[in-house]
Structure 1
């Protein structure tokens, strides 16, 4: 037998072994990546909640956004199409996703998405996962995947196999946003200029910081500020943030700067395993934003339960033009942040 014939036979065997019945219980259909490993891609339903949440809790790119109690708060707006990848009988990766206009999105209702991977998930596992995902998308007549991978500061260990595999399958980068992140391992406030700026901020902006559960007052001030300054509204309604904070009280915090009973400013903070995220905030005084952030940074440094390896100040993109607002990004750089790209990848079948 020629080497070419052997290669063709092997390729045909591999394609045959990669056949899968998607959505059945783990003991039903499977895909053989080799002679011993069985894979199955399963559509999420309530009976898999324990498998889902257990994997999220231990994942290398874990975030509380991926727990089912968070994902399902806006189930009325997003048609859930989440998937679990099983290796043998164990969930090895998850794909939070929804369907919109014959496209699979991961995930437009979250800051990001993509494969959420177990500590022992390997390259070959996701390779099988994408093979099965393509089959399932073709079965459902979905012609495109929009994929927003978890940025690396949110990863406890590297998780870049998915982006490489998508590139190998012909995916393209549709958009790049620039996020502003800083590490907390380097004490940037020890630098002479930042110490000077902090003393100035303390003189110009005398206040105390504390957490608050008065969401009614907080959301009224936040909504007014966003409307007057940006013509926008908070991402979450008051009812939604109350629900989410009741479900994730350790992860969603509201901090206010106050003097007596008067509130000068506030910030919604999302605490994930790796990152302290400044979600959005308000201020009632005409104070420079740097004064508030410097004082808040200093306060957070003194709160052990707020401390994470990274701080995320979000993007500085202009909603109208999609371009970087350089002055706002420069302000974040002056605080010690540096830019990290946030990608949206598109895979057309």
Structure 2
């Protein structure tokens, strides 16, 4: 198996075409998404070709010192596989990847797995390869998801929904990224001493590049935004990338109406609705209030796993 470092002028078209046809490709692995933060990460993405120079896998990756990350700037990562690749071939891919690390000037691989709900067809071949290479799992985050087809509101959420209905709130898609970002920044600063990963400019640019996949929805009282959610729609999964609410919105059930609408109507045809992770400190600290909110919609845990492999 030949390992080739990604070069935009040579590989961009074949990379994007391969990701689109892969059994575990998502739009975050397209170059128009990955390259938005190219100034913050040293891209070290890899392509894997067989003896007939057929592209069999790609690895979104960046280099940081002597560590290869898959990819530190993306929510998910890991090898993106051809539809007809088998377990034996994936073992060979890992062998080739590890053998190639010294040529990249790195001695350690930090590998994050794509959760199985995002797979178009079963694609956990990498988990077995990681086991075979004695990879160390160093991080594990709980993410809360549910199947819209089986969605049933809890009594607590029904009470919130009743408040929102009596207040005559309505849910609609929005292009007011700056207005939502003001609410989001305030929420993250006051509740978590944090800031959004994306700036307003970055998320607007990404939404323009992927208008069907990155969408903003708000719950309003007239023209006043009370709560909002940025959805990353990968086709099988609608993922809540950012969630925020004003104090007034929390008082009148704005998020209850917002998520009820998104799950039961807007994204009802999706296989899964993913609320995202509820942990800090590399997964060792559980935000119990946050995960309780998500579970009150009927969501339950899947995990995001991170592994480390070292040469020698």
Could you state the TM-score of these two structures normalised by the residue count of structure 1?
Answer: 0.82
SS at match of 1:308: coil
Please give the alpha-carbon distance, in whole angstroms, between the structure 2 residues aligned to 1:51 and 1:103. 26
Report what 1:90 is aligned to: 54
Decide whether the 8 Å contact of 2:185 with 2:195 is kept in 1: yes
Decide whether the 8 Å contact of 1:43 with 1:84 is kept in 2: yes
Higher relative contact order (CA 8 A, sep 6+): 2
Higher Rg of the two aligned structures: 1
Q: CA offsets per residue over residues 177-231 of structure 1, 9 Å max, x none? A: 1111111231324x7x478446534346531011111222222232233223322
Decide whether the 8 Å contact of 2:151 with 2:263 is kept in 1: no
CA displacement at 1:338 relative to structure 2: 0.5
> What residue ranges of structure 2 are gaps of 5+ in the alignment?
none
Report what 2:35 is aligned to: 72
Q: CA offsets per residue over residues 80-133 of structure 1, 9 Å max, x none? A: 111111232321211000111201100110011000112112112212211111
CA displacement at 1:73 relative to structure 2: 0.8
Decide whether the 8 Å contact of 1:41 with 1:83 is kept in 2: yes
Q: CA offsets per residue over residues 262-303 of structure 1, 9 Å max, x none? A: 111111111112211111122123444993343123212454
Report what 1:129 is aligned to: 93
Please give the alpha-carbon distance, in whole angstroms, between the structure 1 residues aligned to 2:267 and 2:162. 27
Decide whether the 8 Å contact of 2:219 with 2:225 is kept in 1: yes
Decide whether the 8 Å contact of 1:145 with 1:346 is kept in 2: yes
Alignment of 1:53 with 2:16, yes or no, is yes
CA displacement at 1:175 relative to structure 2: 1.1
Please give the alpha-carbon distance, in whole angstroms, between the structure 1 residues aligned to 2:193 and 2:148. 33
C-alpha distance 217-170 of structure 1, shift in aligned 2 (>3 A):
same
Please give the alpha-carbon distance, in whole angstroms, between the structure 2 residues aligned to 1:330 and 1:50. 43
Decide whether the 8 Å contact of 2:142 with 2:283 is kept in 1: no
Alignment of 1:262 with 2:224, yes or no, is yes
Q: CA offsets per residue over residues 130-155 of structure 1, 9 Å max, x none? A: 11111210223311100001001111
Please give the alpha-carbon distance, in whole angstroms, between the structure 1 residues aligned to 2:100 and 2:282. 36
CA displacement at 1:321 relative to structure 2: 8.6
Report what 2:26 is aligned to: 63
SS at match of 2:285: coil
Report what 2:291 is aligned to: 329
Report what 1:138 is aligned to: 102
Decide whether the 8 Å contact of 1:201 with 1:295 is kept in 2: no
> What residue ranges of structure 1 are gaps of 5+ in the alignment?
1-38
Report what 1:234 is aligned to: 196
Please give the alpha-carbon distance, in whole angstroms, between the structure 2 residues aligned to 1:73 and 1:276. 21
Q: Aligned residues, how many?
A: 309
Please give the alpha-carbon distance, in whole angstroms, between the structure 1 residues aligned to 2:67 and 2:78. 14
Over the residues paired in the alignment, what is the CA RMSD in angstroms? 2.3
Decide whether the 8 Å contact of 1:300 with 1:307 is kept in 2: no
Q: CA offsets per residue over residues 42-82 of structure 1, 9 Å max, x none? A: 11112111111011112221211100011111111111111
Please give the alpha-carbon distance, in whole angstroms, between the structure 2 residues aligned to 1:86 and 1:322. 38
Deviates more, 1:288-297 or 1:104-113: 288-297
Alignment of 1:102 with 2:66, yes or no, is yes
Please give the alpha-carbon distance, in whole angstroms, between the structure 2 residues aligned to 1:339 and 1:321. 13
Within a 5 Å distance, the mapping from 1:1-349 to structure 2 comes to: 39-46=1-8, 47-87=10-50, 88-189=52-153, 193=155, 196-197=158-159, 199-203=161-165, 206-288=168-250, 291-301=253-263, 303-304=265-266, 307-318=269-280, 322-349=284-311
CA displacement at 1:305 relative to structure 2: 6.0
Deviates more, 1:73-82 or 1:87-96: 87-96
